[in-house]
Amino acid sequence: MRVNSIELREIRLPLREPFRISSGVVEHRRILLARVRDADGFEAWSECVAGEHPNYSPETTDTAWLALREWFGPRLLGAELAHPRDADAVLSDGVRGHRMARATLEMALWSIEAERRDTSLSKLIGGARTHVDVGISIGIQQSPAALVQRARAALDAGYRKIKLKIEPGSDIEFVRAVRDALGPDAPLMADANNAYGEADFDVLAELDAFGLLMIEQPLEHEDLVRHAALQRRLRTPMCLDESITSVARARDMIELGSGRIINIKPGRVGGFAESIAIHDLCARHDVPVWCGGMLESGIGRAYNVALASLPNFSMPGDISPSARYWERDIVVPEWTMTDGRIAVPQSPGVGVTPDLDRIDALTVRLETIGR
Ligand code: OSB
Ligand code: MG
């Protein structure tokens, strides 16, 4: 395949409610969308997961725009690719980092390949599930009581995993309150987004009392060594998110014992090829993986659903239905949850159609690379 044109758009999409994590809060998403067309007229939409501020990763909506326009877009336009798995080498040659920007194009190519073969994205990558289990990620709340209310509503709605965001000062009492209210069988976990350090190991060890499924990324994003030391102290498995930016980092985690579970976000690791490689590596080492979320619109969500249909995505993903995030999504049909699961589309491509009128109305920036 040969890519002829890449349209970049920024849309503004307000969340139904602000989402607070230890490193910042977001109310309005600034989402970068790409529309990629090949020389035979096949087309795919994809989404960049970079955030508004460089608090989760160094990348932002603005840096990704620059990287796509200046480096990744022009390279892709000149390339003839036999398969999307060959895209990485072309895109990343001589460019360090900018994985979220790179993934935007890489993932679009997987979708185009699915269209070309008239098959679903899930089937193209070897997906083995017709449904994926759904979890929810609940932002930091004002009080334990407010968190209990959210968590109870989530359990009642059928979510199969409930992730509580924590930070120093909003941790032990918050988690304890939810555990006490929801009972011993509620599938709870905590995510700290790097908010703790070596001085906090005693506090983190207190979390062992609450029977959590896992504790996600408690320490600094580049610190696999101290995560390993912490894991040796904890009974609760640790799951890494920010730290795992490549299959090489996943290998390091396994060798060092820095965690026992990986949250895969395809944007964070540079796309589907790297995600599949991490999935396969983890399967060989009996390390469960699950699909993380970045408050995606229905377009990015489609890729997450397809990825999560791979066999070793054995825990519920942060792939909540559209209505959890948006008044109205930008795809038709919207993503819905039944009995705590989302159906994996079996139709060709990603299985949802972008709502062009709505996207046009939300667009604040538009630029076309190529013709
Ligand atoms: O740490 O998983 C995270 C959202 C933005 C940045 C980081 C994270 C998150 C989430 C949201 O937890 C999950 C979702 O998309 O529902
Ligand atoms: Mg996380």
What is the distance in angstroms between the CA of the first residue and the CA of the last residue of the chain?
16
Rounded distance from Cα 177 to ligand 2 centre (Å): 21
Half-sphere exposure of 359 (CA within 13 A, CB side): 23
Positions marked active-site: 165, 265
- Within 8 A by CB and 6+ apart from 185, the residues are none
Cβ atoms of 342 and 336 within 8 Å: the answer is yes
The whole-angstrom separation of Cα 317 and Cα 303 is 12
Atom of ligand 1 nearest to the CA of 26: 5
Cβ atoms of 85 and 24 within 8 Å: the answer is no
Residues in contact with ligand 1 by the CB-under-6-Å rule are 21, 56, 137, 191, 193, 241, 292-295, 318, 320
Residues within 5 Å of ion ligand 2, judged at the Cβ atom: 191, 216, 241
Total-model pTM: 0.98
The whole-angstrom separation of Cα 58 and Cα 81 is 29
pLDDT digits (tens, 9 = 90+) for 60-115: 999 999 999 999 999 999 899 999 999 999 999 889 999 999 999 999 999 999 99
pLDDT mean values, one per 10 residues, the chain (371 residues) = 97 97 95 97 98 97 98 93 95 94 98 98 97 98 98 98 98 98 98 97 98 98 98 98 98 98 98 98 98 98 98 98 98 98 97 98 97 78
Rounded distance from Cα 3 to ligand 1 centre (Å): 31
- Within 8 A by CB and 6+ apart from 100, the residues are 48, 49, 50, 57, 59, 64, 267, 268
The whole-angstrom separation of Cα 189 and Cα 172 is 12
Cβ atoms of 312 and 283 within 8 Å: the answer is yes
pLDDT digits (tens, 9 = 90+) for 296-328: 999 999 999 999 999 999 999 999 999 999 999
